[in-house]
Chain A
Amino acid sequence: MARNRTFLLVAPALIVMALLPLGVGGYILGLLTVAYYTAVFAMSWDLLFGFAGEVNFGPSFLIGVGAYVAALLNHYWGWPIPACLACGAVAAVIGGAVLAVPALRLSGPYFGLITLVAVLMLQNIIVLNAGITGGEIGIDIPDVLSIDETTNYFYAFGFMVVSGGILFGLSRSPVGLILQASGQDAIEAAALGFNVAKHKLTAFCISAFFSGLAGGMLIFYMGTASVGTVVDIAVGVNVIIAAVLGGRRTILGAAVGSIFLIGANEVLRPLGQLATFVVSAVALVVILFFPGGFLGNYLHTGGRE
């Protein structure tokens, strides 16, 4: 039942998205390119929160590590893009594991705080080593994926579909169910014989892998990596808002939320500075009155709740 509904929702949306370059201008495509990478950030975050029950306040730590490792390799040694991306993703997983192994013993706000501190530390390291990292000005990247908007669009689209598919599949697999059980009642899950810590760590590493990879892809699209783009707490906040807005514990909702957020900011651009205010207000209203988010009610009615 739920599976059918998901399919009914996703299939037409994907077809429309794939055909979009035929109908809209380069600018809209550029906008969606950023939205699709953000969608991967949000989906990775949702895997960790929605399923493992861990509130990661610092998604931009994982994104930033992936992005900066890729950027530095390309800037100083001119490594080809795929190699940079791979190293970035691996670095994000390593960074994530170093953070997660001790942090996962903690719960609730403590875990949240540690992930927040990780972002601040990363930001400090980058700014203090301005000579190498370019500091707050950022570092430019000689190679970009492509300068053609349509090509970039399909890179981002393909990447989002594949990552989304894997993350979604994972969330519906037995592993996802165990994660969900551990997230809701870790003690009971452990009593049933599941190694909760191991599963959560796995979830964290998977989340780190996709976050880091998407961070790398994003900077190779933009041609620059800077604290404001991939590390700042505000970046992470946007990811969290997108995921909650779209409907947590749905994975796909996170993608919808991201596209909505970036689209809304654009539609409201004539408001100038007030755009952020209005977007936040809309998100607040959704959270207060439709806590399931955009997709929550739709996907869940057939399922658990």
Chain B
Amino acid sequence: MLALQILIDGFAISSLYALGATGFTLIFGVSGVLNLSHGAIMVVAAVIAWAVAGNFGTGPYIGALAGVAASLVCAFVTYRVIVRPIQDSRAIPREEKEIFVLTGTLLWGIMLQEAIAYFFTNNPKTVRPLVEGVVMIAGVRTPWNEILTAGLSWAVIGLLWALVNRTRMGKRLLAASMNPRGLTLLGFEMSSIYLLVWMIYGVLAGIAGVLLGAFLGVSSDNAGTLTASAFSIVVLGGLGSVSGSLIAAYVVGYLETMTAYLVSPSIRTIPVLLLLVAVVYVRPQGLLGRR
């Protein structure tokens, strides 16, 4: 009974972690950027979805769409206004671009977070779930919304997989992550590929944010934690490895759930932190990372 409960609850939260981290790792894989405004973008998506659905009475679907659109806009701005100018800048030495991108996206994340807090206060919000009610799965009472969250996360991840592996555009993307120089030599414009990745990222982060808002609820104060959690999952899985991130998301999700059930809910994040330290020391390239 308890085992089943852990299995079901862990699955839902892990799927959400997986979706949240996928976009993050994709960007790193293709363009080498760690986007520290990630959490803030997810928060924007959730809060906009909440506000549109609640204040304009449009219902959850239009609200969710608005949330994803907001995330897309934020992702576009992150790339065009912050990341790209830094990458193109001649004034910044190459070995320091990384810290500039980190600081720049961090500041942008703080701006988004403050703007949300200003317009909508920092009270946590919950997006109205697309479906209500519960269902019994082998004696475990499970909300439909939890099942939907897991299902949608996997559907989106599946679509992404199909896009990358089954379309011409996706293959180009894959190639870019493996060997950007080679692709440039073949005459492809890297900047259009980057733009594409950021757009995909915007959609992924937006969906993850809205689902998170419906499943657990979010506050603008969560932005930092969300970024840190995506960062941890991605490092655990191996920077830039999408499949590694997926596995890592499940490791983190289940480890947290098990700690909460079996040990104590007050230390739920600690085993993950310890695992992270251990992995980084023993196998810095992560579970599935390539070096």
A residues sitting closer than 8 Å to B (CB atoms) are 49, 53, 55, 102, 106, 108-110, 112-114, 116-117, 120-121, 124, 128, 184, 233-234, 237, 240-241, 244, 248, 273-274, 276-277, 280-281, 283-284, 287-288, 291-292
- The stretch that binds A, out of B52-60, B113-121, B149-157, B170-178, is B113-121
**Closest residue of chain A to B276, judged by CB?**
A117
B277 on interface, CB distance cutoff 8 Å: yes
List of 6 A-B pairs having minimum Cβ-Cβ separation, nearest first:
A277-B114, A284-B107, A280-B110, A291-B92, A280-B107, A280-B111
Q: A108-B98, A114-B277, A120-B273 are in contact. Are A280 and B228 (CB under 8 A)?
A: no
A233 to B224, CA, bound (A): 8
| Residue numbers in B under 8 Å from A110 (CB-CB) | 235, 280, 284
Consensus secondary structure, chain B interface: helix
Cross-interface CB contact of A287 among B107, B235, B273, cutoff 8 Å: B107
| Residue numbers in A under 8 Å from B2 (CB-CB) | none
| Residue numbers in B under 8 Å from A112 (CB-CB) | 102
| Residue numbers in A under 8 Å from B103 (CB-CB) | 240-241, 244, 287
Can you identify 8 A-B contacts, CB atoms within 8 angstroms? A113-B232, A117-B232, A124-B273, A234-B224, A244-B103, A277-B115, A281-B107, A288-B85
A233 to B269, CA, bound (A): 16
B69 on interface, CB distance cutoff 8 Å: no
Shortest CB-to-CB span from A28 to chain B, Å, is: 25
| Residue numbers in A under 8 Å from B96 (CB-CB) | 248
Shortest CB-to-CB span from A250 to chain B, Å, is: 13
Within 8 A of A (CB), among B150-167: none
B residues sitting closer than 8 Å to A (CB atoms) are 34, 81-82, 85-86, 89, 91-92, 95-96, 98-100, 102-104, 106-108, 110-111, 114-115, 117-118, 224, 228, 231-232, 235, 239, 266-267, 269-270, 273, 276-277, 280-281, 284
Cross-interface CB contact of B267 among A114, A128, A280, cutoff 8 Å: A128
Consensus secondary structure, chain A interface: helix
> A284 touching B111 by the CB < 8 A rule?
yes
Q: A117-B277, A273-B117, A280-B110 are in contact. Are A124 and B82 (CB under 8 A)?
A: no
| Residue numbers in A under 8 Å from B85 (CB-CB) | 288
> B100 touching A291 by the CB < 8 A rule?
yes
| Residue numbers in B under 8 Å from A108 (CB-CB) | 98
**Closest residue of chain B to A124, judged by CB?**
B270
> B99 touching A49 by the CB < 8 A rule?
yes
> B284 touching A106 by the CB < 8 A rule?
yes
> A277 touching B111 by the CB < 8 A rule?
yes
> B107 touching A283 by the CB < 8 A rule?
yes
